[in-house]
Amino acid sequence: MQRVIVGDVAIDSITERSGPWRAPEAMFPAFEAEAGGRYLRELGPIHYDAALNRLNITYQTFVVRTPRHTILVDTCTGEDKGFPPPMDFPKAPWLEGFRALGLRFEDIDFVFSSHLHIDHCGWNTVLENGRWVPTFPRAKYVFLKKEYDYWQAATARGENPPGKVWTMNCEPVTAAGQALMVDDDYVLEDIVSLSLTPGHSPFHCCIDIASRGQRASVIGDLMHHALQCREPDWSTIFCADPAAAARSRRAFFARAAEQGTILLPVHVPAPSAGRVKAEGDRFAWEFV
Ligand SMILES: [Zn+2]
């Protein structure tokens, strides 16, 4: 992704993995071949590999630099987690992307996650002498307490994964004293705030960035593919509450269209950053 400037804030991205992924009908239970196929053709080859009939899906972390802080939002799947294929992405691209931005682990001040799924909190921790420890030694990791508590309870019930995800990526951060448990009214530096957008996960949040009258928002998995602008009601097989996810998507898109917010979806391929425009009860996606 090309750098996005929002007032005094610069936003870059680190790609862990990008390319053809699932077939649209495997991703969206409500997918209709005729309308869906037409939208995919309109969206073009950045979003859809027509020869393979696969959605192009990226996994990326956003780096948000304010005048005072360096912040990571959504830390991909990470390294050494032992996830089975296809979630066993090589770690080199992410590390190279991180270093290419001139960053060292100790430069990171805050880490946010839109939610605590496998691909949004992986680099939170690394394995050191057989123990999971926070990757970023100086960072505060901002957890929405309700989301954190939900996955802690799921882990206690033996749900595994994502129980394993919480055990590897979240609990060690708390044990190290680096967790900052917040409510959804949390604000950092008058620049970063949260919008609760439940559905994909029980307490999914968008991470909103505002500076000098400009706005951007890391929208996590509020949208997995630009197809969902045309069909906001199409939630994925990974959404805990598909109807709630659709309501959150519609409400958030309507506000973003009105305010001209730049949207940063984790799974949309480069150039990744875009805006939505309202068209009746649907939306059009445009890269910025
Ligand atoms: Zn995801």
How confident is the model over 191-249, as pLDDT tens digits?
999 999 999 999 999 999 999 999 999 999 999 999 999 999 999 999 999 999 999 99
How many domains, the chain?
Answer: 1
Instruction: Write out the residue range of the structural domain in which residue 278 sits.
Output: 4-287
What separation in Å is there between the alpha carbon of 18 and the centre of ligand 1?
A: 13
- Counting residues of the chain whose pLDDT is more than 70, the rounded percentage is 99
CB burial of 29-56 (b: ≥16 within 10 Å; e: otherwise) equals eebeeeebeebbeebeeebbeeeeebbb
How far, in Å, CA of 240 to CA of 117, rounded? Answer: 11
Whole-number Å distance, alpha carbon 58 to ligand 1 midpoint, is 9
How far does residue 266's CA lie from ligand 1's centre (Å)? 7
**Domain at 233, CATH number:** 3.60.15.10
Q: How many angstroms separate the alpha carbon of residue 114 from the centre of ligand 1?
A: 9
What is the 77 CA–ligand 1 centroid distance (Å)? 9
pTM confidence score: 0.97
239 Cα: distance to centroid of ligand 1 (angstroms): 10
> Minimal CA–CA distance to 208: which of 102, 68, 66, 1?
66
Distance 206 CA to ligand 1 centre (A): 13
CA of 221 to the centre of ligand 1 (A): 5
